[in-house]
Structure 1
Amino acid sequence: MILLWTISLLLGTVAGTEVCYDKIGCFTDNAPWSGVSGRPGKSLPKSPQVVNTRFLLYTNENQGSYQVIVADASSIKNSNFKTSRKTRFIIHGFTDTGENSWLSNICKNLFKVESVNCICVDWKGGSQASYPQASLNIQIVGAEVAYFVKVLQSSLGYSPSNVHVIGHSLGAHAAGEAGRRSSGAIGRITGLDPAEPYFQDTDALVRLDPTDAKFVDVIHTDASPFVPNLGFGMSQNVGHLDFFPNGGKSMPECKSRLATETVDLEEKGARFSLTCNHLKCLDYYTESILAPNGFTAYPCASYTDFTANKCKTCPSGGCPQMGHYADKFSGKTSAVNQVFYLKTA
């Protein structure tokens, strides 16, 4: 009996519409996770073995090559991870991989301005599936990150408030799941164009929302409706601060390139020009790390008013910087769904 119980924990025990795994908890196909408007069908995320979440650690000491670590005290202690530093997890999206260059490029820029534990989260085993399945698999990724944070806290005395999770597209919602399963104790979550399909206007449990961390900031760059315009990102405000550069729908570089050529973006999982807007948030965040005052954003009732120069002055509390330094804004958590606009070059 004990042997069967142990095997069921390791492999996952299905009871009706719920499956549970050792360490990371349980998952269900009940509402609001599936079978509801915006999330059709009834299905469960794939197992942790299939999703195969890996943690690739870069630090100031090993900037050019990662160390694979697991959520175990000895693995972490035997790596270059230092509890004196902040920890920033970076989570990729649909069809992507944690070894793609944009994740390590963020780490490289971070090393120029701080000492940091930069962990690229690879879940290609779950992201390279059909989109509906991948949108469910993010629950496993979020739970794995939450468990890692739990180990840091329980075994190394590391505060979750020193953790920052950065997620792109589906990865933004995985970050939200990590925050939810950490009871909102994570210091910060940054959503880089959170994915729209299966998440827009859904219950806050299944998507990124302001309760997932002490501070949640979001950059929207592809917020046109998925139908009919194929906008992959959410238009819904889901953070404390929601930034809409260039109005959040069409980025200048993408518009000019689409007019002249079919663009190969040279990124695995994002080879078509139609994903350009969805990917520009990665450029903006990466650049913002080295430009503390380069992305000033302004509160405004609409982008139309902003482009009419009706909102080009900052209120008494100042204006936030979109990107890495958004957390320096004094009013960052004074309210939720604060909207800001800016233009980029």
Structure 2
Amino acid sequence: MVSIWTITLFLLGAAKGKEVCYDSIGCFSDSEPWAGTAIRPLKVFPWSPENIGTRFLLYTNENPNNFQILLPSDPSTIEASNFQTDRKTRFIIHGFIGKGDESWLVDMCKNMFKVEKVNCICVHWKRGSQTTYTQAANNVRVVGAQVAQMLAMLKSNYSDLPSQVHLIGHSLGAHVAGEAGRKTPGLGRVTGLDPVEASFEGTPEEVRLDPSDVGFVDVIHTDAAPLIPFMGFGTKQQVGHLDFFPNGGEEMPGCQKNALSQIVDLDGIWAGTRDFVACNHLRSYKYYSESILSPDGFAAYPCASYKDFESNKCFPCPDEGCPQMGHYADRFAGKTREKQQKFFLNTGVPANLLVSWRYGVSITLSGRTATGQIKVALFGNKGNTHQYNVFKGIVTPGSTHSNEFDADSDVGTIEKVKFLWNNNAVNPTLPRVGAAKITVQKGEDKTEYSFCSEDTVREDVLLSLTPC
């Protein structure tokens, strides 16, 4: 028996496709793959540029707090601004129900100003994004074309080469960046910050962000759980050359799902509650902004799955090294032979530092047999870590136990290790346990450090190991 859904899709597909055209940016069709498919069943034209009201807000090192408006149709607005052709240009594009003068975009620009001279342009398409989700998803095409129009104007009038341009898009904005990249030959880089899933995952390349759009595409996935039933807004599909899945890409530290997030639909996320509902989805731009100021704090490891990563199967970095998730990911461009590759890492929580450094530890025990938990802390020329668990169970002299942990600081050159054991129980024999040797490896550069001791200690007494 043929379902109503099948008949509906047939009629949509059979209907003759139409198109709408707008001066200077071209025509937009409502035929496949843009509509009439299982993923995009409704035929919805994107709004006109006038209805969307896209504006380009320029911040520079000279005007970090107040934007200057640029118009792709009026080169004089460039001449009257602080735009500098000898600087890299980075566009930041917000997503669904967002706006270009939100604090996170401006804060991201300000972080850039701390490390580089840059033209930071926030793309403001508030009216086009604060509508129904289906309409906003279709408006992506016009906004992408407008960004491409601005890039073409900068190239023709100011010799601002596309290879020196970087587009950073969050949510729907990631697909805006992909659309602009597809229309701009030679564009240098696109960064997708949790590209949205609905209406885009599983579509042909011309509909969504894709590696073929530009020379280098890096993506941060933070809300990749299925939309139904888990209300994951981001795509799980690999859509970049390098796809990063921090903390597995689905549940970020400090973001707990709640009853409201299970029942609110995409059109029901409003500005006052989206931090509550879409915490994972928004975390991607927080990671990126933090990465600007932490060039070595987001090292990510190539791995088949997060399960393998958590099982310590992807440590240390391979010979070509590990990329940094976020701002400095382009330093890794061309270092992997694979066309698309997954990378995993763990991060901290916003209340503390988001960054982390991964270490591998191997401990050879000495002393008496006992039951307990083994912890270590690393001390280096840049500082020290907290105590991290390495092993829990029967402690046997001569046995070796290994583990990995993500520290909240880079201690630099490791100078000593402190060993601690306990079992939180009274033991009348007062056993003494020690670490004959501890080997520590930094995951990024694969440097190994070895520390030795002939001493043993009772539980809850620190033992310091020095280089062998």
TM-score, normalised to structure 2, is 0.67
Counterpart pick for 2:75 among 56, 73, 76: 73
- Residue matched to 1:52: 53
Cross-structure match for 1:254? 255
Matches within 5 A, 1:90-239: 90-183=92-185, 185-239=186-240
User: May I ask how many residue pairs the two structures share in their alignment?
Assistant: 323
Structure 1's unaligned 5+ residue stretches are 1-14, 260-266
RMSD: 1.8
Q: Which residue is 2:242 aligned to? A: 241
**Larger fraction in helix:** 1
CA deviation digits over 1:254-295, x for unaligned, max 9?
Answer: 13x869xxxxxxx93753522000000111000000000000
- 1:332 and 1:133 mapped to 2: Cα distance? 39
Q: Does 1:283 align with 2:286?
A: yes
Aligned pair partner of 1:343 in 343, 346, 353: 346
Identity of aligned residues (%): 60
Q: For 1:33, what is the secondary structure of its paired residue?
A: coil
CA-CA distance at 1:331 after TM superposition = 3.3
Superposed displacement of residue 20, structure 1: 1.3
User: How far off is 1:50 after superposition?
Assistant: 0.7
Give the SS at the match of 1:62. coil
**Among 323, 338, 342, which residue is 2:326 paired with?**
323
Q: Does structure 1 retain, via aligned residues, the 8 Å contact 2:60–2:82? A: yes
Question: Are 2:64 and 1:63 aligned?
Answer: yes
Task: Give the number of the structure whose alpha-carbon radius of gyration is greater.
Answer: 2
Deviation for aligned residue 1:314: 0.7
The separation in 2 between residues aligned to 1:122 and 1:277, in whole angstroms, is 23
Aligned amino acid, residue 133 of structure 1: Q
Report what 1:41 is aligned to. 42
- Paired position in structure 2 for 1:302: 305
Deviations 1:118-177 (Å, cap 9, x if unpaired)?
A: 000000110011000000001111000000000011111110001000000000000000
Distance, in Å, in 2 between the alignment partners of 1:134 and 1:270 is: 19
Letter of the 1:288 partner, please give it: S
Cα deviation 1:38-61 (Å, max 9, x = unaligned): 011111101111111100000000
Deviation larger for 70-79 or 196-205: 70-79
- d(CA) in 1 for partners of 2:272, 2:298: 28
Inter-CA distance 270–212: structure 2 relative to 1 (3 Å threshold): farther
Superposed CA deviations along residues 25-83 of structure 1, whole A, max 9, x for unmatched, are 11110100111120111111011111111000000000011011111321111110000
1:121 alignment partner, SS class:
strand
Kept in 1, the 8 Å contact 2:194–2:284? The answer is yes
Residue 9 of structure 1 is matched in structure 2 by none
| Bigger RCO (CA 8 Å, 6+ sep) | 1
TM-aligned CA deviation for residue 91 of structure 1? 0.4
Q: 1:100, 1:268 within 8 Å by CA — same for their partners in 2?
A: no
- Aligned pair in 2 of structure 1 residues 63, 123: CA closer, same or farther (>3 Å)? same
Q: Secondary structure at the match of 2:99?
A: coil
Q: 1:226/1:139 Cα in 2 relative to 1: closer, same or farther (>3 Å)? A: same
Instruction: Please say if residues 215 and 332 of structure 1, whose CA atoms lie closer than 8 Å, have aligned partners that are also in contact.
Output: no
Residue 69 of structure 1 contacts residue 75 of structure 1 at CA under 8 Å; is this kept in 2? yes
2:328 match: secondary structure: helix
CA-CA distance at 1:181 after TM superposition: 1.1
Change (3 A) 1:338 1:22: same
| Structure 1 moving runs of 4+ over 6 Å | none
Give how far 1:332 is off: 5.2
Name the SS for the 1:205 alignment partner.
coil
Give structure 2 stretches of 5+ with no counterpart: 1-15, 260-269, 349-468
**Farther-moved stretch of structure 1 (68-77 vs 123-132):** 68-77
Q: Is the 8 A contact 2:25 2:149 kept in 1?
A: yes
Residue matched to 2:276: 273
Q: Residue 177 of structure 2 contacts residue 209 of structure 2 at CA under 8 Å; is this kept in 1?
A: yes
Identify if the C-alpha distance between structure 1 residues 334 and 117 changes in structure 2 by more than 3 Å, giving closer, same or farther. Answer: farther
Residues 60 and 39 of structure 1, relative CA distance in 2, 3 Å threshold: same
Q: Which amino acid aligns with 1:308?
A: S
Inter-CA distance 100–321: structure 2 relative to 1 (3 Å threshold): same
Change (3 A) 1:43 1:151: same
Instruction: Name the SS for the 2:312 alignment partner.
Output: coil
Q: CA 1:279–1:270 in structure 2 vs 1: closer, same or farther (change >3 Å)?
A: farther
Partners of 2:336 and 2:20 lie apart in 1 by 36
**Partner letter of residue 58 of structure 2?**
L
- Whether the aligned pair in 1 keeps the contact of 2:19 and 2:28 (CA below 8 Å) is yes
> Could you tell me whether the CA contact under 8 Å between 2:17 and 2:31 is conserved in 1?
no
**For the residues of structure 2 that align with 1:90 and 1:332, how far apart are their CA atoms?**
26
Distance 2:275 2:91 in 1: 26
Over 3 Å counting, the alpha-carbon distance change for 1:217 and 1:324 in structure 2 is same
Structure 1 pair 226–116 and aligned structure 2 pair: CA distance change class (3 A):
same
Conserved in 2, the CA contact under 8 Å of 1:240 and 1:333?
Answer: no
Q: What's the CA shift string for 1:164-194, capped at 9, x where partnerless?
A: 00000000000000001113x2100000000
- The answer to whether the 8 A contact 1:61-1:80 is kept is yes
Say whether the 8 Å CA contact 1:317–1:330 is kept in structure 2. no
